[in-house]
Structure 1
Amino acid sequence: MKQVIARLWRIIRGPMQWRLLWLAHAKFMVGVTGVVRDGQGRVLLLRHRLRPEGRQWGLPTGYAIKGEEFGATVAREVREETGLDVKAGRLVHLKSGYRLRVEVAYEAQFLGGDLAIDSFEILEARWFTPEELPDGMQESRRLLIRGETPN
């Protein structure tokens, strides 16, 4: 039976193979986070309007658009939410196992720009030293900032 399946697979080639693979496998949203640092080692944190009270502070985060490179997602999300320009660097976190989501996080370097927050999503944007992070942050984000791996 395996030989028959292998022979059929070789016959259908190309787009039909991709379509069958797409139908047979799980689909995920990819949440991409940026650990954005400035030249002084401070990290950019955002107070998100749509998060629960008491847990509003966090890193710039958003979902990748179909076909978008994840480093580009970091740059796009930071620009949309803050008006700042950043460049994604090293991948620092990749986690799957959620029902329909994969999490990705990159270190990112602040390049410049003037702070202009998107007031629909963001209440406040500020630079913090890793030693003086605000209350109301997820522990997994604190670990990313400290360079440790979240569970």
Structure 2
Amino acid sequence: MGDAKRGNVWLGVSGLVVDENGRWLVVKKKYSGLKGKWSFPAGFVKNDETADEAVMREVLEETGIDTSLNGLIGLRTGVIKGEISDNMLLFALSPLHTNIKIQHDELMDVQWMHPDALLQDPNASVLLHKMAKEALRDTKQLTDGINPGDQFGYTAYKLFL
């Protein structure tokens, strides 16, 4: 059942982008289990990037919004049909501007919405509802510039603690 590109272990990223008015950047996908539902911009990590680089790329590609990284919020992990380990890291981001440019190939819509409105919207994903109830409690901050040892050969190494 696995995907030829991703195999049976998937690593995705998703970004909670919050503007100065407390609104969240949300998207409606044209495909997948989230088709027609509000969700966070998301996608898969490529082999030549770190997860935090991937989330900023995905948000930019889907919404046209450049972001800065605030930290790691959490992990969503599950197994699909007993065969695929599906993992997604959720990051907190700040927008560098608020001018949306929709990626029409993948998305129906992109909006800035207040979490209270998302709680009332039946088309908001389960994850959005949970996040809107919990808000931002414990963001893990980025620590960069650490070398765990040349013997590992890391070209990028980052901690979120």
TM-score (norm. length: structure 1): 0.72
Max radius of gyration: which structure? 1
Letter in 2 for 1:104: L
Other structure's SS at 1:115 match: coil
Which blocks of at least 5 consecutive residues in structure 1 are unaligned?
1-25
Aligned to 1:96: 77
* Number of residue pairs aligned between Structure 1 and Structure 2: 124
2:38 to 57, 63, 69: 57
Instruction: Letter of the 2:47 partner, please give it.
Output: K
Hey, what does 2:125 align to over in structure 1? 138
TM-aligned CA distance change 1:95 to 1:124, over 3 Å:
closer
Q: Which residue number in structure 1 is paired with residue 148 of structure 2?
A: none
- Cα deviation, 1:6-50, whole Å, max 9, x if unaligned, reads xxxxxxxxxxxxxxxxxxxx9622110101101111001111111
Look up the match of 2:49: 68
| Closer, same or farther: CA 49–97 of 1 in aligned 2, 3 Å | closer
Shift in Å at residue 116 of structure 1? 1.3
Q: State whether structure 2 residue 12 is matched by structure 1 residue 31.
A: yes
2:110 maps to 1:125: yes
Coordinate RMSD, CA, aligned: 2.4
User: How many Å separate the matches in 1 of 2:24 and 2:107?
Assistant: 16
Cα separation, 1, equivalents of 2:35 and 2:61: 24
Q: Give the % identical residues.
A: 24
**Which has more helix, going by share of residues?**
1
Tell me the distance in 1 between the aligned counterparts of 2:32 and 2:10: 19
CA drift at 1:135: 2.2
- Correspondence for 1:85 among 66, 78, 82: 66
Structure 2: runs of 5 or more not aligned: 1-6, 138-161
Runs of 4+ in 1 over 3 A off after TM superposition: 51-55
Alignment of 1:11-26 (within 5 A): none
**1:147 paired to 2:135:** yes
Do the aligned residues in 2 keep the contact of 1:35 with 1:144 (CA within 8 Å)? no
Aligned-pair distance for 1:87? Answer: 1.7
Q: Per-residue deviation at 1:139? A: 1.8
Q: Distance in 1 between matches of 2:78 and 2:66?
A: 31
TM-score computed with the length of structure 2 as normaliser: 0.68
